[in-house]
Amino acid sequence: MIQLDHIERVFQVGDQKVHALHDVGLKVERGEYLSIMGPSGSGKSTLLNIIGLLDRPSDGQYFLDDKDVSLLTEKEQAKTRREKIGFVFQFFHLVPRLTAAENVELPLVLAGMMPGERKQKVSEVLQAMGIGDRMHHRPEQLSGGQRQRVAIARATIMQPTVILADEPTGNLDRASGKEVVEILERLVDNGLTLVVVTHDPELGQRAKRQIKMVDGSIVSDTLRSV
Amino acid sequence: MRITDTLKFSLSTFRGSPARTFLMLLAMSIGVTSVVALTALGEGARRYVTDEFSSLGTSLLIVIPGRTETTGGSPSLFIGETPRDLTLDDARALLRYSSIRQVAPLNIGSAPVSWKQREREAPVIGTTAEFLTIRHWEMAQGSFLPAGDPESAGSVCVIGQNIRNELFGASSALGEWIRIGDRRFRVIGVLQSAGRSIGIDSQDLVIIPVASAQALFNTSSLFRIFVEAKDRDELSRVEALVIKTIKERHQGEEDITVVSQNAVLATFDKIFRALTLTVAGIASVSLAVAGVLIMNVMLVSVSQRTPEIGLLKALGAPDRQILVLFLTEAAMLSLFGALIGLILGELGIWVMILLYPSFPLTAPIWAVVSAVSVALLTGLVFGALPARRAAKLEPVQALSRR
Ligand SMILES: Nc1ncnc2c1ncn2[C@@H]1O[C@H](COP(=O)(O)OP(=O)(O)OP(=O)(O)O)[C@@H](O)[C@H]1O
Ligand SMILES: [Mg+2]
């Protein structure tokens, strides 16, 4: 489903070139649970952004569902993000002036869905995340764990095939981090593909497939022994 | 994204930053208010003046010596011929037509006017009895110049209110002898201080028989001849008649200009229209200022909302959608601002009407429509730069907290 071949990503900083990714090849099948670990600056976020079509590789090829994404227009890429990919960020990235429900509704609004249909879905998803009673609260009125659950609800409401999570627990305490991880893992049980970037080895080791990156390259790709 | 959702999203951004929204609405509404109120003033002035002129009667023709039109390369220019003077006989010649109701010759000059120790310089006009009705003047005291032979130089005069007050103060003016230049005249009337007179202020005038004025200023020519037609609809025919008659009397030389009240009216109308447009133009500078403010505030808004823009892109909003969102925001701001401005402007006009009921004040429709559309256009034009900047943001950069 996701196939990366010889991906390079070079940033130009002044007159210096920063090689964030070097010859990365990766194949992820539908329904896989993958964690990416590695030291800071090893290119984990960069890789995730490329998978999520937020960034383009400098070189190499990326096939998503057997389609070469470099051939897609900006508009088609946006549509792909909207329909196939859900993002979960370390800093939640909720819109502060909107309520939890409105934040979750945002992807549906962007997709042009009718309001009646939207309300129904939003409340279902928020119930499923266990924050149905916080629907009309704004982000500042929610705890970190609740905010991340709102963000996950938003990432899943379009029923994407992949969830990309960059340090989803990085800003949470242990307990609420654990809750968030359990919610994400439930998504895998329902057939979604999950890619988690993390610094936390305990969290990383929960994934079936673990990838380690160093200096922009994948140095190990192991399956968890059951 | 549906239109209603786009509008709702913009509204939510206004709620998110009420102070900023208020500032932009204020700027835009001030611009629209000033356009609406100032054009109403200009338009009011125009209507006031044209109304005044119409009240003078539109069946009036004014004969002026000399041609004011440039007849490029006319032979008379090369010969260097000076136009012949208008004379009392010219004026009298016009009287024989049945389509002309009355004629008043006019001479004008300035002379020291004195009674006992008091003296002042005053404009003196020489005319005949007909001038009173032609100009629609009224008498406060006594009577106007007596009707009769314009050639007879009677020693009587009519004075305006200001002259009366300055020379006579509390004492009575009627029947008194005053000195004008080196001659003496008896005051037989005082003009009513009617405001309805454009061009000359009747209050400062001294009026004497035309023949006396010619003697006083030592001239045989006239300054103007006022001709009143019987029928307003025949004005152009009368005009041709006047030109033809005087041309015949001037050895076939067409050396006069005939101005109709309508032409004067049209000129004033044009002048005031231009004035209104100028004022509107100046006022719309404030709209441009509002536009620049909108641009600035929106640029700040784009940089403050960078993470949000990145998020929208990550959620699958194409560049175009972001552009539309920000343009909608700018358009809504300027439209709301314009509406508030309209209301304030109309309110201001209403207050002015309360204060000056006789002044005809309404904002012209074209000004209202163009103020609102210019406001909208300004918002869109100045909103375009921030909107484009937002649309072009790289999602990764926008999302990273730097
Ligand atoms: N926009 C950019 N411009 C220049 N250099 C960049 C940019 N984004 C990332 N880099 C560089 O690319 C490298 C990889 O960055 P990346 O953010 O992918 O690391 P990371 O593994 O996610 O690190 P962390 O664990 O700290 O989040 C780093 O050296 C970083 O400095
Ligand atoms: Mg990172």
DSSP state of B59: S
What pLDDT does residue A51 have? Answer: 95
| CB nearest A112 (choices: B1, B9, B318) | B1
Give the pair of three-digit tokens for residue B200: 């000359």
Contacts of A87 in chain B (CB under 8 A): 314-315
Classify residue A15: in a domain, yes or no. Answer: no
Listed residue (B85, B64, B87, B103) closest to B211, CA to CA: B87
Determine whether the interchain pair A102/B2 forms a contact, defined as Cβ–Cβ distance below 8 Å: no
C-alpha of residue A41 to centroid of ligand 1, in Å: 5
* Contact check, Cβ <8 Å, B12/A97: yes
Residue B11 per-residue DSSP state: H
B189, B110: one domain: yes
Domain presence at residue A149: yes
User: CA-based angle B351:B357:B361, to the nearest 5?
Assistant: 70
Q: What is the pLDDT of residues A20-59, one digit of tens each?
A: 999 999 999 999 999 999 999 999 999 999 999 999 999 9
Flag if B319 and A74 touch (Cβ within 8 Å): yes
DSSP letter, residue B12: H
Q: Do A106 and B315 touch (CB under 8 A)?
A: yes
B313 to A52: CB separation less than 8 angstroms, yes or no: no
Strand, helix or coil for residue B193:
coil
A107 → chain B, closest CA residue: B315
Cβ neighbours, 10 Å, residue A106 = 23
Is residue B219 domain-shared with residue B291, that is, in the same domain?
no
Identify whether residues B385 and B271 lie together within a single domain: yes
Contact yes or no for B387/B327 (Cβ under 8 A): yes
User: Could you say which of B199, B228, B257 is where a domain stops?
Assistant: B228
Average pLDDT, chain A: 93
CB atoms within 10 A of CB B246: 24
Count of structural domains, chain A: 1
Helix (H, G, I), strand (E, B) or coil at B144: coil
A187 lies in which domain range? 31-44+74-223
Partners of B394 on chain A (C-beta within 8 Å) are 55
Instruction: Spell out the residues 6+ positions from residue A73 whose beta carbon is closer than 8 angstroms to its own.
Output: none
> Is position A6 within any domain?
no
Fill in the DSSP letter of residue B145.
S
Is residue B233 one of the residues assigned to a domain? no
What range does the domain containing B108 cover?
Answer: 104-228
Q: Which bin fits B142, alpha (ψ -120 to 50), beta or left (φ > 0)?
A: left
Ligand 1 atom nearest to CA at A213 = 21
Q: Are A93 and B399 in contact (CB < 8 Å)?
A: yes
Query: Residue B226, SS3?
Result: strand
Domain assignment of residue B24, yes or no: yes
Question: For chain B, which residues score pLDDT lower than 70?
Answer: 55-58, 68-83, 194-200, 401-402
A85 in a structural domain: yes
Nearest CA to ligand 1 atom 4: A11
Interface contact flag, B316 A81, Cβ < 8 Å: yes
Q: Which two tokens stand for residue A21?
A: 């990714």
> Number of folded domains in chain B?
2
- Work out the number of other CB atoms within 10 angstroms of the CB of residue B288: 14
The interface predicted TM-score (ipTM) is 0.93
Please name every residue paired with A197 in a beta bridge, in sequence order, or none if there are none: A36, A166
Going from the Cα of B61 to the center of ligand 2, the distance in angstroms, rounded, reads: 90
Instruction: Please indicate, yes or no, if residue B39 is contained in any of the structural domains.
Output: yes
Answer yes or no: are the C-beta atoms of B208 and B144 closer than 8 Å.
no
Among candidates A214, A213, A211, A39, which has minimal Cα distance to A222?
A211
3-state secondary structure B100-138: EEEEEEEEEEEEEEEECCEEEEEEEEEECCHHHHHCCCC
- Among the bound ligands, the one closest to the CA of B402: 1
Q: E strand or H helix at A10, and its extent?
A: strand A2-13
Name all residues whose Cβ lies below 6 A of ligand 1. A 11, 13, 18, 20, 38, 40-46
The residue among B228, B246, B277 that closes a domain is B228
Mutate to test the interface with B, among A110, A150, A162, A164 (most CBs of B within 10 A): A110
Task: Indicate whether B218 and B159 sit together in one domain.
Answer: yes
Query: What is the residue with the minimal CA distance to atom 6 of ligand 1?
Result: A11
Residues of B engaging A, defined by a Cβ cutoff of 8 Å: 1-2, 4-5, 9, 12-13, 15-16, 307-308, 310-321, 394-396, 399, 401
Task: State the pLDDT at residue B401.
Answer: 60
Say how many Å lie between the CA of residue A46 and the centre of ligand 2.
7
Residue B252 within any structural domain of the chain? no
CATH number at residue A141: 3.40.50.300
Q: How far is the CA of B356 from the centre of ligand 2 (A)?
A: 71
Residue B255 included in any domain: no
Q: What is the distance of C-alpha B371 from the center of its chain?
A: 21
What's the pLDDT score for residue A164? 96
Helix (H) or strand (E) holding A60: strand A59-64
A47: part of which helix (H) or strand (E)? helix A44-51
Closest ligand 1 atom number to CA of residue A39: 25
Alpha carbon nearest to ligand 1 atom 22, residue: A45
Residue A40: nearest ligand to its CA? 1
Collapsed DSSP state (helix, strand, coil) of residue B27: helix
Distance A45 CA to ligand 2 centre (A): 4
Ligand 2 centroid distance, CA of B63 (Å): 92
Rounded Cα gap, residues B176 and B187, in angstroms: 6
pLDDT at position B220 is: 87
> What are residue A185's phi and psi, to 5 degrees?
-70, -30
Domain assignment of residue B238, yes or no: no
Residues of B in contact with A83 (CB under 8 A): 316
pLDDT for the residue numbered B73? 44
Return the pLDDT at B211: 92
Query: Quick one: tokens of B235?
Result: 């004005």
Query: Which of A82, A97, A110 minimises the CB distance to B16?
Result: A97
pLDDT, one tens digit per residue, over A51-88 is 999 999 999 999 999 999 999 999 999 999 999 999 99
Predicted pLDDT at B78: 43
State in Å: Cα B398 to ligand 1 middle.
14
* CA nearest ligand 1 atom 25, residue: A40
Q: Determine the residue of A8, A9, A46 to mutate for testing ligand 1's pocket, defined as the one with the most ligand atoms within 8 A of the Cβ atom.
A: A46
Chain B CB contacts of A97 below 8 Å: 12-13, 15-16
User: Does residue B314 sit in the same domain as residue B380?
Assistant: yes
Q: What count of CB pairs under 8 Å joins A to B?
A: 74
Instruction: Count the alpha carbons within 13 Å of A194 in the hemisphere toward its beta carbon.
Output: 29
**Residue B41 has which token pair?**
């003033």
Residues 6+ apart with CB under 8 A from A69: A53, A62, A63, A77, A80
Q: Among B207, B228, B249, give the residue marking a domain's end.
A: B228
Q: Which residues of A make CB contacts under 8 Å with B?
A: 49, 52, 54-55, 74-75, 78-83, 87, 89, 91, 93, 95-98, 102, 106-107, 109-112, 115, 154, 158
**DSSP strand E in B151-275: where?**
156-159, 177-180, 183-191, 206-209, 224-229, 256-260
